[in-house]
Amino acid sequence: MSGSGYERAELVSWLRETDPEMLEQLWHAADETRRSHVGDQVHLRGLIEISNHCVRLCGYCGLRAGNRELGRYRMSEEEILECADKAAQYGYGTVVLQAGEDYGLSRDWIASLVRRIKAETGLAVTLSLGERPEDDLAAWREAGADRYLLRFETSDPALYAVIHPGRGGRPAHPSDRIELLRRLQELGYEAGSGVMVGIPGQTYDILADDIDLFRHLDLDMIGVGPYIAHPATPLGTQGGGANHEDGSGGNGGGRTHDSADGEQVPSDELMVYRVVALTRLVCPEANIPSTTALATINKESGRELGLQRGANIVMPNLTPPEYRMLYEIYPDKACVNETAEMCRGCLNGRIHAIGRSVGEGPGGRRRSGR
Which of 313/358 has CB closer to ligand SAH?
313
Interacting residue with ligand SAH among 75, 101, 124, 356 (CB under 6 A): 101
Least spacing, CB of residue 42 vs ligand SAH, in Å: 21
Which of 33/51 has CB closer to ligand SAH?
51
Site for ligand SAH in 219-258 (CB under 6 A): 225, 227-228, 230
Instruction: Please tell me whether residue 95 binds ligand SAH under the rule CB under 6 A.
Output: no
Instruction: Please tell me whether residue 214 binds ligand SAH under the rule CB under 6 A.
Output: no
Binding mask 55-94 for ligand SAH (x = CB under 6 A): -----xx---------------------------------
Least spacing, CB of residue 15 vs ligand SAH, in Å: 18
Which of 98/312 has CB closer to ligand SAH?
98
Interacting residue with ligand SAH among 46, 59, 93, 100 (CB under 6 A): 100
DSSP assignment of 245-290 equals TT-TT-S-SS-SS--TTSPBPP--HHHHHHHHHHHHHHSTTSB-B-
Instruction: Please tell me whether residue 324 binds ligand SAH under the rule CB under 6 A.
Output: no
Closest alpha carbon to 54 in 42, 70, 41? 70
CA distances, 96 to each of 93, 222, 265, 360 (Å): 10, 14, 30, 16
Residues 6+ apart with CB under 8 A from 24: none
Element (H, E) at 357: strand 357-358
Instruction: Please tell me whether residue 196 binds ligand SAH under the rule CB under 6 A.
Output: yes
Instruction: Please tell me whether residue 128 binds ligand SAH under the rule CB under 6 A.
Output: yes
Using CA atoms, how far apart are residues 244 and 258, in angstroms rounded to an integer? Answer: 23
Q: Are 331 and 230 in contact (CB under 8 A)?
A: yes
Interacting residue with ligand SAH among 130, 250, 252, 316 (CB under 6 A): 130
Interacting residue with ligand SAH among 113, 293, 295, 351 (CB under 6 A): 293
Binding mask 294-323 for ligand SAH (x = CB under 6 A): ------------------------------
- Three-class secondary structure of residue 94 per DSSP: strand
Interacting residue with ligand SAH among 132, 151, 274, 344 (CB under 6 A): 151
Using CA atoms, how far apart are residues 142 and 173, in angstroms rounded to an integer? Answer: 24
Q: Quick one: residue 244, left, alpha or beta (phi over 0 = left, psi -120 to 50 = alpha)?
A: beta
Which of 153/156 has CB closer to ligand SAH?
153
- Three-class secondary structure of residue 312 per DSSP: coil
358 beta partners:
42
Instruction: Please tell me whether residue 344 binds ligand SAH under the rule CB under 6 A.
Output: no
- Three-class secondary structure of residue 313 per DSSP: strand
- Three-class secondary structure of residue 300 per DSSP: coil
CB count within 10 Å of CB 192 equals 26
Interacting residue with ligand SAH among 330, 340, 343, 363 (CB under 6 A): 330
Least spacing, CB of residue 19 vs ligand SAH, in Å: 28
List residues binding ligand SAH (CB under 6 A): 60-61, 98, 100-101, 128, 130, 150-151, 153, 196, 225, 227-228, 230, 293, 329-330
